[in-house]
A and B are shown apart, each in its own frame.
Chain A
């Protein structure tokens, strides 16, 4: 066989493997890598290190594995390191075994299996108690195979003491005396078979890879929320495929972003709503586990954000994400000493560098207006969305931001009684700040509720003529088609009224809030 041909065949498996790894890790699971990093404790402190080292070999492997996970904060870096290690394992196996180069693709099967184990995970990340142990078996396998390779090298050297054999071992081209060399054609056939096996394993790995669109969007939104990039959250929400309803987490993130941008009253019902099941193997409070601390924190409930981070820290370890929101909640609560404790720990993570004074100042300032409520004893039972909606909808008074949020929650809950006092409270604010322009959905709700209750006079309220006209048309159409069922009307009216509060009120029903 020609030399160049041989080189190509030898380089083909690692090149294919590296390309595949990077495609799966960066192309499909980029957001997941960042999430893994946020959910893996890795701190360069003597206390953390000694705690792991006291667990012996498993602890050392966990330390190394956590280091890889920590690098995933920068997805390309983390993916490259993981790819490198998986390739190293395959090359070591090749070196250690006596496989001819034609069979070399078979050495990539364990690496593909380990890659699949990692990429097949999704929601398990939040209930997996042994954080940071994702790559323990990879680390252990590399060490064991490397030791075996060394042992083999040493043994071969001792037995034969010929430089030829050493070279053969290093290149994986061990030739045994008395055995015949295969013909070039047979070698190519063997190589093709091995490559096919590798391809099949790769296909299997790709199939195993968790590709749930909703989960991916949840992570993209979550990472945008972390950076206060509210517009990005809305952009992701609008990219939702029509035939795939969002999960409650996505809906909550979307509402949060709308509230933060002051757009909830104007365009809340332009965004997809839904309660898709989480594509998780077990039922759990995923909304609380994934988004609870963020929602509580950004909606002015720092104690509850802190509480759930603490509870989860007990269950799942000192994950950077928990520390990050405990730090923010402490800052919002004015607990500076406590915040510094969390900041110190986070700063011991190679990829988190936090200045408590600067990094969250603006963020906290934006949340502070939501904190003007009296302390009571309460509890959420882990039902984050329901608790926030109820809590704000039944709240009376507070700052302008609180009343706006209360109004949004009353609308979402279709709560007429809570709506009116909040609406009336906001009228002078809109008059003063908004040139007497009432956001669209509030107008829609006022018209609807006045119509339903019958005894409300809206003559003094500035209702846009086009909204009034649309409402009258809706009433007329509803009356004309009252003999048809809700399903028929929902489908028929959706193109015209799908983005209105009216449509939400009548046709978006039975959604599970958590």
Chain B
């Protein structure tokens, strides 16, 4: 009896694994309704299988993936495909520089329908082998449920780098983890990430060595926030921010993350010293980004002169008036001093606000997001992914020719360049308006971004079922060296206080704020103030 059962099981397995294309099928005019819609997107030759879910009504589904060179290709059964990774990579390699075709067959009421082919060009250039991101529920003040994960791009392996739940036992031990960043795509083994609240500090990994720093000094606004590793030197530029969250009563953007003050600092890992870069109280500097040669620092800044004693109420009421431009400063690696400030993009003149500048690895392009106001474009529906040449001089506002090109016209936020500069990864809430997913787009030699595709998953529905957002996606050439337990051990150590060492500018600026011209006004009855302590 037992032998029969085994035989039947093997037969069932064999039948279920073998899928044949339907011999008779009628041709549909419209393409199949598949999720995610990656039709037309250019794929890297080392990407994980692009599994899809067929949403057309049917009783049976067959997906045929093939190339010109391999017409037989891969045939997969089921409403959700589960493509064999080895077969997929073989097929993908054969399609390098060519196209991969996907044909969907659906059987409904006894007859098969063949849908028009979905086409995906395959680029010659690969994506970096790893990415890392933070998985977080798109919440506002509560943030316990956070993981920093590393994902291998050629398959679906996801490894947890840091699990914040291990620390969040109760309110007194709750902590937030954020802003993981790597020097030179982690080629140097240098990484940093912040811990907030309980056992707060900045973990800095330098190869095998790890330490936790307290980057807040008496002379700086906060601990380090948005980081930018110098590409070669043991330096990290940070913004220091006084950030708060306030809630829209009606707008579906739901929350506004406002900086009520921000500056730039430079941290020297060798000496544990912190230097001021930009600390003009009437300029709200944030989001630093180095050029690949380490000679220039780009950043965003908004000009705002405080009118009253209560900056929080001022900006809560006038949040749409805070607009950010992009500036740059040269950096002399010999003297370790920054030069004068130059305007790169006068977004304010265009009634726009720029955020998160990122320079391409060849140093030619500046990628950034442009929204209607503010700097935290993650929540802004108006946020667009834009690009401009790095060497363009300050623009003038003309209606005919903006100095930038809009690469992607949908809600886009955190973006980064692959190490070869051919792939752009960005997070976007475009899928459902709330949970950000990762998208990847080919950026060709002519400076054109192709249609993006969504991060492939073992089960395509996972992107739908996941109640977390992908946040702060970063490319990596090398995986993270430190283990989760090592990082957690470092997190439990005392933070080393950083030492304030004055200005890193060739011509230091005054930190004194102009006196408010008007007395404080009350914020009526509103209970706002959800300040974040960095």
Residues of A within 8 A of B (CB): 45-48, 301, 303-304, 306-307, 310-315, 318, 333-335, 337-338, 340-341, 344-345, 371, 373-381, 383, 386-387, 390-391, 394
Contact = CB atoms under 8 A, between A and B. Distances in A.
Interface in B439-475: 459, 461-462, 464-467
A45 B465 contact: yes
B435 interface: yes
B254 A338 contact: no
A345 B466 CA distance: 10
B142 A345 contact: no
B143 A341 contact: no
Interface string B270-304: 00000000000000000000000000000000000
Contacts of B143: 314
B513 interface: no
A378 B250 contact: no
Nearest to B170: A129
A304 B140 contact: no
24 contacts: A46-B465, A47-B461, A47-B466, A303-B250, A303-B252, A304-B247, A304-B249, A310-B137, A311-B139, A313-B467, A314-B143, A318-B467, A341-B435, A345-B465, A371-B250, A375-B250, A377-B248, A378-B246, A378-B247, A378-B249, A379-B526, A379-B527, A379-B530, A386-B527
Contacts of A47: 459, 461-462, 465-466
Contacts of B246: 377-379
Contacts of B519: none
Nearest to A310: B139
A383 to B, nearest CB: 6
A378 B254 contact: no
Interface in B4-26: none
Contacts of B527: 378-381, 383, 386-387
B433 A337 contact: yes
A310 to B, nearest CB: 5
A304 to B, nearest CB: 7
Nearest to A337: B432
A310 B464 CA distance: 17
A215 B465 CA distance: 34
B528 A377 contact: yes
Contacts of A378: 246-247, 249, 526-528
B529 interface: yes
Contacts of A340: 432
Interface in B503-529: 524-529
A373 B251 CA distance: 11
Given A311-B140, A378-B249, A303 B525 contact: no
A378 B319 CA distance: 12
B155 to A, nearest CB: 17
B247 A303 contact: yes
Q: Which A-B residue pairs are the 3 nearest by beta carbons? A: A375-B250, A377-B246, A381-B527
A306 to B, nearest CB: 7
B464 A344 contact: yes
Contact of B145 (A314, A371, A375, A383): A314
Given A344-B464, A394-B524, A313 B249 contact: no
Contacts of B141: 311
A338 B465 contact: no
Contacts of B465: 45-48, 344-345
B144 interface: yes
Contact of A315 (B142, B254, B434): B142
B126 interface: no
Contacts of A379: 246-247, 526-530
A470 to B, nearest CB: 33
Interface in B241-269: 246-252, 254-256
Contact of A341 (B139, B459, B464): B464
Contacts of A306: 254
A310 B138 contact: yes
Interface centre among A312, A313, A318, A374, by most chain B C-beta atoms within 10 angstroms, is A313
Interface in B130-148: 137-145
B209 interface: no
Contacts of B138: 310
B432 A338 contact: yes
A307 B144 CA distance: 15
Contacts of B434: 335, 338
Contacts of B218: none
Interface centre among A311, A344, A345, by most chain B C-beta atoms within 10 angstroms, is A311
Contacts of B464: 341, 344
A378 B246 CA distance: 6
Given A47-B465, A47-B466, A314-B144, A377 B316 contact: yes
A46 B459 contact: yes
Interface in B92-107: none
B525 A307 contact: no
Interface string B295-326: 00000000000000000000011010000000
Given A311-B140, A312-B142, A344-B465, 12 more contacts: A47-B461, A303-B247, A303-B248, A304-B247, A304-B249, A307-B254, A310-B138, A315-B142, A338-B433, A374-B250, A379-B247, A380-B527
A307 B248 CA distance: 10
B435 to A, nearest CB: 7
B316 A314 contact: no
A337 B431 contact: yes
Interface string B143-157: 111000000000000
A333 B528 contact: no
Interface centre among A334, A344, A378, A386, by most chain B C-beta atoms within 10 angstroms, is A378
A470 B459 CA distance: 72
A312 B529 CA distance: 19
A334 B256 CA distance: 20
A313 B469 CA distance: 14
B178 to A, nearest CB: 14
A303 B139 CA distance: 12
B433 A335 contact: yes
A437 B432 CA distance: 48
A405 to B, nearest CB: 15
A340 B434 CA distance: 12
